[in-house]
């Protein structure tokens, strides 16, 4: 079985659907609020696990009810809870998510315990890594912790996938060091432009250019226009899978989880990106982040219904 290790954030998502996203100073009446486990790291770990990867998750929660809820949810997903650190006297991270009728969203994250996930909490990480492992990182935890994890992975011969989101503003100098420890960089359009520091809509050239920052490969996700990846052989575009989207909240995390699981399973980067595109599209057809993540059987059925895109 393929092996994925995720080091990242764990939140409780508080989501509400509204007719339209509020303008500054505007009050909009929404539906009933829904509380679900989330956080980019947690979502990506669950995504990889549902797609068949043997997955471990290193994260931090507070000693509050939200933390207990996240721990219970991870256990229910088959993710071992022993690497989930509880930070005394600290609140669990919370994401406030508003989704409009077109499926677009705004997200505000209060990091809570995620900001206190330090290298000390990663004492067991080196023993979980090896050449057959894909380590997945994001930026909802301290950058120093990501760098420490990436160094552990490099020492163990594991591959590193960095989803550089949310990208700090301004981009800190330590990001340059982290990128030199990355095998596959995954960014959206805005993140790609900020890392490059130059405006462009030539995404193929930009993906190639971002490799000069250190990562062996770069993937730029383009939403309803699919994705593009660049590696040593050049740039390749991947069309989007057509869906009727109702909530885009977990699409990026679904993409990253699927990509990591595919790479850990020995698939090529091109095939991993295609699986990511399918998983991301499928996630937009359901409400919520983790609740929308597809299983392996669901993803296979979805791709079988779109053979012209699955084997592009």
Q: pLDDT tens across 24-51, in order?
A: 999 999 998 988 899 999 999 999 999 9
Tell me, yes or no, whether 98 lies in a domain: no
pTM of the model: 0.93
- H-helix segments, 77-138: 125-128
Residues 140-164, buried b or exposed e (16+ Cβ, 10 A)?
A: bbbbebbbbbbbbbbebebbbbbbb
Domain count for the chain: 1
Q: What pLDDT digit, counting tens, does each position of 223-268 carry? A: 999 999 999 999 999 999 999 998 888 899 999 999 999 999 999 9
Contact by Cβ (8 Å): 52, 2? yes
Of 13, 253, 265, 300, which residue is the catalytic one? 253
* Closest among 36, 60, 34, 56 to 44, alpha carbons compared: 56
- Please name the residue that has the structure tokens 């000069």: 212
Tell me, yes or no, whether 28 lies in a domain: no
Tell me, yes or no, whether 32 lies in a domain: no
Widest CA span in the chain: 53
Q: What is the domain range of residue 199?
A: 3-10+38-92+113-310
Tell me, yes or no, whether 259 lies in a domain: yes
Tell me, yes or no, whether 19 lies in a domain: no
Can 253 be counted among the known catalytic residues?
Answer: yes
Q: The domain spanning residue 123 has which CATH number? A: 3.40.1190.20
Tell me, yes or no, whether 103 lies in a domain: no
């Amino acid at each position: 079985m393929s092996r994925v290790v995720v080091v990242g954030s764990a939140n409780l998502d508080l989501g509400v659907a509204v007719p339209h996203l509020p303008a500054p100073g505007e009050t909009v009446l929404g539906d009933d609020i829904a509380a679900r486990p989330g956080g980019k790291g947690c979502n990506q770990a669950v995504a990889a696990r549902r797609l068949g990867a043997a997955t471990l998750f290193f994260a931090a929660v507070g000693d509050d009810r939200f933390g207990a809820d996240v721990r219970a949810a991870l256990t229910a997903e088959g993710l071992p809870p022993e690497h989930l650190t509880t930070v005394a006297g600290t609140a669990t991270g919370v994401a406030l998510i508003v989704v409009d009728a077109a499926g677009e969203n705004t997200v505000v994250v209060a990091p809570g315990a995620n900001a206190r996930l330090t290298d000390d909490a990663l004492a067991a990480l080196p023993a979980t890594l090896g050449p057959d492992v894909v380590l997945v990182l994001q930026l909802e935890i301290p950058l120093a912790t990501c760098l420490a994890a990436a160094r552990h992975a490099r020492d163990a011969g594991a591959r590193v996938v960095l989803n550089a989101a949310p990208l700090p503003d301004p981009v800190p100098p330590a990001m340059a060091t982290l990128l030199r420890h990355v095998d596959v960089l995954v960014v959206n359009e805005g993140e790609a432009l900020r890392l490059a520091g130059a405006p462009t809509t030539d995404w193929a050239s930009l993906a190639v250019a971002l490799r000069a920052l250190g990562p062996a490969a770069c993937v730029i996700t383009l939403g309803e226009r699919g994705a593009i990846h660049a590696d040593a052989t050049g740039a390749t575009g991947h069309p989007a899978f057509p869906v009727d989207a109702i909530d885009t909240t977990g699409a990026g995390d679904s993409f990253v989880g699927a990509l990591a699981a595919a790479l850990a399973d020995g698939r090529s980067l091109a095939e991993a990106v295609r699986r990511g595109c399918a998983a991301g599209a499928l996630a937009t057809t359901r409400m919520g982040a983790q609740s929308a993540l597809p299983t392996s059987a669901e993803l296979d059925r979805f791709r079988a219904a779109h053979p012209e895109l699955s084997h592009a």
